[in-house]
Structure 1
Amino acid sequence: MPILLVHLNTFLISTHYNPFPLISDSQNKTKKMEGLQNGNSTDATVTTSLQTAPPSSSKLTESLKLEHQFLRVPFEHYKKTIRTNHRIVEKEVSSVISSLPDSSDISQYDAVQHLNSLVSRLQGLKRKLEDGSRAERLQAQRCRARLEHLESADGENISEWNNTRLKRILVDYMLRMSYYDTATKLAESSNIQDLVDIDIFYEAKKVIDALHNKEVAPALAWCADNKSRLKKFKSKFEFQLRLQEFIELVRSENNIQAVIYARKYLAPWAATYMKEFQKVFATLAFTSNTGCEIYKVLFESKQWDYLMDQFKQEFCRLYGMTLEPLLNIYLQAGLSALKTPYPNISFCFCLDHFRFCYEDDCTKEDPLSQESFRKLAMPLPFSKQHHSK
């Protein structure tokens, strides 16, 4: 187990996620060539080794740079499971110790009854520890399976390995788009359950569904489970959930209960988020159908959509996931090489920024001739190539 953690830590520390590794490596090589011209022998040695590296090995290395999330997610889940089990043990043991009576002030019968109660509680703790141990072994197995999968990538089976990676990317996309059943069936039929994060996305699904139904209890429970991590990130998601609960009390014209709620749950956040606190608290003087635009927006249903988006961001950050689906990132990495400002492209002004438009005679073999691909390529920089490939 410690060896597995060392391997994972080494990989995660040494691997820096970069959605466009080919671009950055090209820039690094340019800098090293400049060092060679200036007489830097160290840079010359490194540049020579880069140029003489086997093409297949170099290509595989570039490909693995995009696999940061692949190991990071199960590793974070593994650490979370360990922390949860540790908290359970600390809480139960502390409770047992604090409940021990003074032996001088208790009868023999009461002592026996108390010991029986302690034995029952400790047996319950044992069952919890066994469940926690199974969860830890499952997470460790998943981390090990992913390490072995990455180590199995070589020139001989690269086609099969890429096919498995494509299925992983598709499962990730389906899970993010809420196609849970389809993602599960694809993972099971391809036997890649340990290589995808279905259970983690199902955890998020419970919170998202609750927020969609305008319920904050599951989201608050999730915040409580991850309180230390969210505090480290300086997240305000829990505060926003509390604000929404306050707004719902005001909407139902239960102002007294709203004030009590604010004193209990919002007051601790007031020093940090005073402006938001004052703005929301002022809704007590208005009704949900107020015409004042500043407060009217707080009662709109889109606030729940905002909470769902905010949860997704916090969830991805907690597990080290990318905000964008992996499928989009891989496609954008390829489209960045195809997007050129030269042939068959005309520029037109759209709102506050320029966008590129393909003319009618553009070849249909070019992916950027499709509207969906053009949307993905819109925020990307133009390639330095003079012609799309």
Structure 2
Amino acid sequence: MDVCKVNHEASLMLEQPLIKVPYEQFRRNFKASQKAIERDYQALQKESANAAKNKRSSDQALKTLDGMINRVEGLKRKVSLPVVHLHYIQTNDNTPVQASMRRRLDHISTFESFTSTEQPGFAPWADTRLDRWLVDWSLRNGKEDTAKTIAKSRGIEDLVEISSFSSIRRVEAALRGHSCTEALAWCSQNKIALAKTKTTLEFDLRLQEYIELARSRKTSEAMAYSRKHFTSYLESHAKEVTHCMGLLACGPDTPLARYKRLYDPSRWETLVNSFRTVAFNLYSLPTEPLLHLALYAGLASLKLPTCSDGDCTNIDCPTCDAKGLGQLAKSVPMSHHVNSTIVCRLGGDIMNSDNPPMAFPNGYVYSTNGLKEMASRNDGMVTCPRSGFSCDFKMLRKVYIT
């Protein structure tokens, strides 16, 4: 029996988010803590310099010193608090970051120790990986309770991103309820990181709130809102701001297409998709479920030109399953086969010298074994499943593979 070797390089490409997601979250937490400490330190330096320059009474000087001592003690507490105590992964047992990171690194290192799939321990590791993928798929499809149940029952709560997806789902639910409040609060919390990505999400959210005020014909409130929030966007979004000002004069029933588009309710779903893309990018999450990425790899090796023209000869071909994996197969490229393999549509058997192909008078080809089995059930008669043509088995012609 051939031993199936483990392809570490290819497999680890799917495992990148396992380490990258917590690393990026940890790095952002560290940067935020660093800036908070620097801000307090600079304020302390400024206060100390002012105290040295200005002449004050003894009571004022003591009061100033007490304030500086309190600030120094607060700064000392922040500096002494290890960043590794930040809980960026919210699990049911509040697993600290170092334990969660260690578990993830151990999970990866265990995989690297395998050289073949036949080794003891590989099957349980692969089961854990599949459980992770199922949790990931469930979270992306709004099945949070299912995801939590799987994670808890399989003991992999610190190997999945339940907290990240929960925050994303909460904001998406608010957007689908036609509220931008949660999304704007999320943008405020991640303002620095979002600025680096140059996303227009916050402006789009502000624009949608303005549109809703115009939809309700709250003209004065819409004008006040535009003065408060659009001023900072005049340089970067001048065209959009100028355009949306026309909504003050045009209501939701306007026949003008350029303003009618702004009132279109489908903009809310567009906002949901935009937010999800930005959030996935910020959290370093793949845009596709990990389960789909793994399936894509397998489907790409099976997809042939015949799969796309509706004339697949293999009834068991997953890429031709219109209601199942065939939907995913639409997004993958064709497989490159140096040597073709002919598969019988009747039973999915490979046609070769031991099971040669036989052709109907109308040209359709099937395997000898499949046609013989059909003939034995129908008194020597065979019927082409694609054309419906029937004839005696003796009328079939043998086809030679070259």
Is 2:310 the counterpart of 1:357?
yes
* Aligned-partner Cα distance in 2 for 1:90–1:136: 22
Structure 1 partner of 2:368: none
CA distance in 2, matches of 1:265, 1:338: 53
* Residue type of the alignment partner of 1:371: K
**Matched residue SS, 2:310:** strand
**Aligned counterparts of 1:86 and 1:55: Cα–Cα separation in 2:** 51
CA–CA separation in structure 1 for the residues paired with 2:125 and 2:332: 28
Please give the per-residue CA displacement for 1:77-114, whole angstroms capped at 9, x wherever unaligned.
Answer: 11111112123223333445555663644444444445
Structure with a larger share of its residues in helix: 1
| Alignment check: 8 A CA contact 1:89 1:125 kept | yes
**Structure 2 CA distance, aligned partners of 1:126 and 1:202?**
34
Contact 2:51 2:61 survives alignment (8 Å): no
Conserved? CA contact 1:78–1:140, under 8 Å? no
Q: Identity of counterpart residues, as a percentage?
A: 31
**Displacement of 1:270 after TM fit?**
2.5
Per chain length, whose mean CA-contact separation is higher, i.e. which structure has more relative contact order (CA < 8 Å, sep 6+)? 1
> Could you say which residue in structure 2 is the equivalent of 1:205?
169
CA distance in structure 2 between the aligned counterparts of 1:224 and 1:95, rounded to whole angstroms: 23
Q: Partner residue of 2:125?
A: 161
Distance 1:218 1:121 in 2: 33
Q: Does 1:299 align with 2:247?
A: no
State the Cα deviation string for residues 135-177 of structure 1 (Å, max 9, x = none).
Answer: 1693343333222211101142221111111001001111111
Query: What CA deviation, in whole Å up to 9, does each residue of 1:183-221 have, x standing for no partner?
Result: 112111111122111111122223222222322232222
Aligned equivalent of 1:7: none
Contact 1:358 1:369 (8 Å CA) reproduced: no
Deviation at 1:132, TM superposition (A): 5.5
Q: Which residue does the alignment assign to 1:135?
A: 86
Q: Aligned equivalents of 2:232 and 2:3: distance in 1?
A: 58
TM-score by length of 1: 0.74
> What is the CA distance between 1:362 and its match in structure 2?
4.5
1:328 — aligned with what? 292
Deviation at 1:312, TM superposition (A): 0.4
Q: Does the C-alpha gap of structure 1 residues 334 and 131 become closer, same or farther in structure 2, counting only changes over 3 Å? A: same
CA distance in 1 between counterparts of 2:69 and 2:213 reads 45
Correspondence list, 1:218-237, <5 A: 218-237=182-201
Question: 1 CA distance for matches of 2:281 and 2:266?
Answer: 23
Asked if the contact 1:69–1:322 (Cα under 8 Å) also holds between the matched residues in 2, the reply is: yes
Q: How far apart are 1:226 and its partner, in Å?
A: 2.4
Q: How far off its partner does 1:223 sit?
A: 1.8
- CA–CA distance in structure 2, aligned partners of residues 206 and 370 of structure 1: 33
Which has the higher mean CA deviation after the structures are superposed, 255-264 or 275-284?
255-264
Q: CA deviation at 1:366?
A: 4.1
Aligned twin of 2:102: 144
User: 1:323 Cα shift?
Assistant: 0.9
Could you tell me whether the CA contact under 8 Å between 2:138 and 2:144 is conserved in 1? yes
* Structure 1 unaligned residues grouped into runs of 5+: 1-53, 346-354
Query: The residue matched to 1:371 in structure 2 has which SS?
Result: coil
- What is the alpha-carbon root mean square deviation over aligned residues? 2.9
**Correspondence for 1:88:** 36
Distance 1:131 1:177, change over 3 A: farther
Query: Could you tell me how far apart the structure 2 residues matched to 1:300 and 1:236 are?
Result: 19
State the alpha-carbon separation in 1 of the partners of residues 101 and 256 from structure 2: 53
Corresponding residue number in structure 1 for 2:20: 72
State the alpha-carbon separation in 1 of the partners of residues 154 and 228 from structure 2: 50
- Separation of aligned partners in 2, 1:302 and 1:96: 51
- Higher-Rg structure is 2
Shift of 1:377: 0.8
Q: 1:195 to 1:219 in 2, by over 3 A?
A: same
Classify 1:79/1:370 alpha carbon distance in 2 versus 1 (closer, same or farther; 3 Å): same
Matched residue count: 324
> 1:287/1:79 Cα in 2 relative to 1: closer, same or farther (>3 Å)?
same
Question: What CA distance in whole angstroms lies between the structure 1 residues aligned with 2:15 and 2:271?
Answer: 29
Q: Distance in 1 between matches of 2:75 and 2:218?
A: 42
User: Aligned partners of 1:295, 1:358: CA distance in 2, in Å?
Assistant: 47
Tell me if the contact between 2:217 and 2:251 (Cα under 8 Å) persists in the aligned partners. yes
Aligned equivalent of 1:276: 240
1:382 matched to 2:346? The reply is no
Corresponding position of 2:381: none
**Contact 1:77–1:139 at 8 Å: present in 2 too?**
no
Q: TM-score, normalised by structure 2?
A: 0.71
TM-superposed deviation, 1:126: 6.2
Alignment match, 1:27 = none
C-alpha spacing 1:299/1:94, structure 2 compared with 1 (3 Å): farther
How far apart, in 2, do the equivalents of 1:201 and 1:123 lie?
A: 37
Q: Is the 8 A contact 1:175 1:198 kept in 2?
A: yes
Written as runs of structure 1 = structure 2, the 5 A alignment for 1:2-13 is: none
